[in-house]
């Protein structure tokens, strides 16, 4: 159930991210498309207004009389005061400037245009309307170049001007763009919502298969761990107890779910290599000889050989390989020291010894909780990581009362609950 919820969360998260990314990408495309449409719209407005300015004044474009030129300038000034153009220049068909008029508030804009030499871009004196969009002081302007023709379609001159988009038009432009963007966002969101149940439906069988595979792996893990423990001490309760202890300690340390899952595997299979140890050594009620103990220590290597080839159990190898290492470097098989010992192995070493001391073995009776804690304290910083041991001290009393005397049914139920939580 935990994994299913995790899959749902990841899918929702990725669909949400996809919605944001697609909305931004599509919105950007639509924004520029709409901007081009708005440019065409404003260009038409500017073209119509420029022609209307000059239509009744065509005669003054031809005339070389200074008074006519002055009158043309006056007429253009009146149009600027009433219309949307703030800068106007008129040329005759020979490309000679006949008049130039600037509105009082357009001086800074005219200086800006000259500074970036934008006028040179538009002044091509072609027979087509051309334009440049200008952003200046958070406003949109359109610089247009319009060829002028008489009623017989004969070229009579050229008009160049900067069209000022008024506030009402600006508001309309903003509404058009915002509405288009909102449509995109809503459309992508609706598509995402529709896709979610479809994707979940398509993945239903995959999720079910993954759950069944995970349960099968855990079942094999429990069966193998139980078989190993039964051969060692005629009970598999030890495996359940040390695994529960390890999980509770890891949780108290604030470790993540992935680490705890690995710790569960390693705890259950920590003595897998004892399968290769003969019964006369494994079940000997007396203290082992030095030679026998040397053979017993090889169960670490055998354990690594047994589980190391399984991909699903790779993250359990460090517990199997290093759970007999000691913090001061006097353990086996690699004589690692301090934090060179993997974290999961340092955790497991504490709970393994704790359970060995508090439970009955063929060669000993169980020690009391008090005596066990005293032994652990004496090994603080030598056998065990002192920081992890201190955390274990803070939870050990409750754990001991809850777990140490529990029968197999209680232990199995407790461990199953933890497995369901983390796997």
CATH at residue 384: 1.10.3210.10
- pLDDT of the residue at 179: 83
Same structural domain for residues 161 and 238? Answer: no
Residue 275 within any structural domain of the chain: yes
Write down the pLDDT at residue 122.
45
The pLDDT value recorded for residue 408 is 78
Entry pTM: 0.56
In a domain, 214, yes or no: no
End-to-end CA distance of the chain: 9
DSSP category for residue 106: G
The answer to whether residues 294 and 384 belong to one domain is yes
Q: Which residues contact 341 (CB under 8 A, 6 or more apart)?
A: 322, 325, 327, 349, 385
Looking up residue 6, the CATH number of its domain turns out to be 3.30.450
**Calculated CA dihedral for residues 45, 49, 55, 61, nearest 10 degrees:** -110
What total of structural domains would you count in the chain? 2
In which domain, by residue range, is 42 found?
Answer: 2-177
Domain shared by 410 and 326, yes or no: yes
DSSP code, position 384: B
pLDDT string in tens for the chain (423-residue length): 555 566 667 777 877 888 788 888 877 887 777 777 767 776 676 667 666 666 655 656 666 677 777 877 887 887 777 777 888 888 888 888 888 888 887 888 888 877 775 444 445 677 777 878 788 887 778 888 888 777 777 888 888 888 877 777 667 777 877 887 788 888 888 887 887 777 777 667 666 666 666 666 777 777 777 667 666 655 568 888 999 999 999 999 999 999 999 999 999 889 888 888 888 888 887 888 999 999 999 999 999 998 888 888 899 999 999 999 999 999 998 999 999 999 999 999 999 999 999 988 766 788 999 999 999 999 999 999 999 999 999 999 999 998 987 787 888 888 888 887 887
Closest alpha carbon to 133 in 33, 43, 34: 43
Say if residue 248 is in the same domain as residue 396. Answer: yes
Residue 210 lies in a domain: no
Spatial contact of 250 and 397, defined as CB atoms under 8 Å apart: no
Residues 6+ apart with CB under 8 A from 190: none
| Residue 233 in domain | yes
Q: Is 172 exposed, middle or buried (0-12, 13-18, 19+ CB in 10 A)?
A: middle
Residue 121: its pLDDT value, please?
Answer: 44
């Amino acid at each position: 159930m935990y994994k299913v919820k995790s899959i749902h969360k990841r899918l929702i998260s990725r669909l949400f991210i996809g919605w944001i990314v697609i909305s931004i990408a599509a919105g950007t495309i639509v924004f520029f498309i709409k901007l081009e449409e708005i440019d065409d719209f404003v260009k038409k407005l500017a073209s119509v207004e420029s022609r209307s300015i000059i239509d009744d004044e065509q005669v003054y474009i031809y005339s070389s009389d200074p008074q006519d030129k002055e009158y043309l300038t006056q007429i253009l000034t009146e149009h600027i005061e009433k219309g949307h153009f703030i800068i106007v220049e008129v040329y005759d068909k020979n490309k000679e400037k006949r008049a130039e008029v600037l509105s009082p508030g357009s001086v800074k804009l005219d200086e800006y245009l000259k500074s970036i030499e934008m006028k040179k871009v538009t002044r091509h004196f072609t027979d087509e309307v051309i334009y440049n969009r200008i952003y200046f002081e958070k406003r949109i302007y359109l610089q247009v170049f319009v060829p002028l023709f008489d009623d017989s379609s004969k070229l009579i001159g050229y008009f160049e001007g900067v069209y000022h988009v008024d506030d009402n038009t600006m508001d309309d432009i903003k509404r058009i763009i915002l509405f288009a963007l909102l449509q995109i966002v809503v459309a992508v969101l609706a598509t995402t919502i529709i896709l979610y149940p479809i994707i979940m439906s398509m993945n239903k069988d995959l999720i079910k298969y993954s759950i069944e595979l995970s349960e099968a792996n855990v079942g094999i893990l429990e069966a193998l761990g139980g078989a190993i423990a039964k051969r060692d001490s005629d009970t598999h309760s030890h495996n359940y107890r040390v695994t529960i202890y390890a999980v509770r300690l890891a949780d108290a340390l604030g470790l993540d779910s992935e680490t705890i899952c690995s710790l569960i595997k390693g705890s259950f299979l920590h003595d897998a290599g004892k399968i290769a140890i003969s019964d006369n050594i494994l079940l000997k009620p007396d203290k082992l000889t030095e030679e026998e103990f040397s053979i017993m220590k090889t169960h670490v290597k055998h354990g690594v050989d047994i589980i190391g080839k399984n991909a699903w159990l790779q993250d359990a190898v460090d517990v199997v390989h290093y759970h007999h290492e000691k913090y001061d470097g006097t353990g086996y098989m690699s004589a690692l020291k301090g934090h060179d010992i993997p974290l999961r192995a340092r955790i497991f070493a504490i709970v393994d010894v704790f359970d060995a001391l508090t439970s009955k073995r063929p060669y000993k009776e169980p020690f009391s909780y008090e005596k066990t804690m005293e032994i652990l304290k004496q090994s603080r910083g030598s056998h065990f990581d002192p920081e992890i041991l201190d955390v274990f001290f803070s939870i050990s009393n409750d754990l001991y009362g809850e777990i140490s005397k529990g029968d197999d049914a209680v232990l199995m139920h407790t461990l199953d609950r933890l497995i369901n939580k983390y796997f």
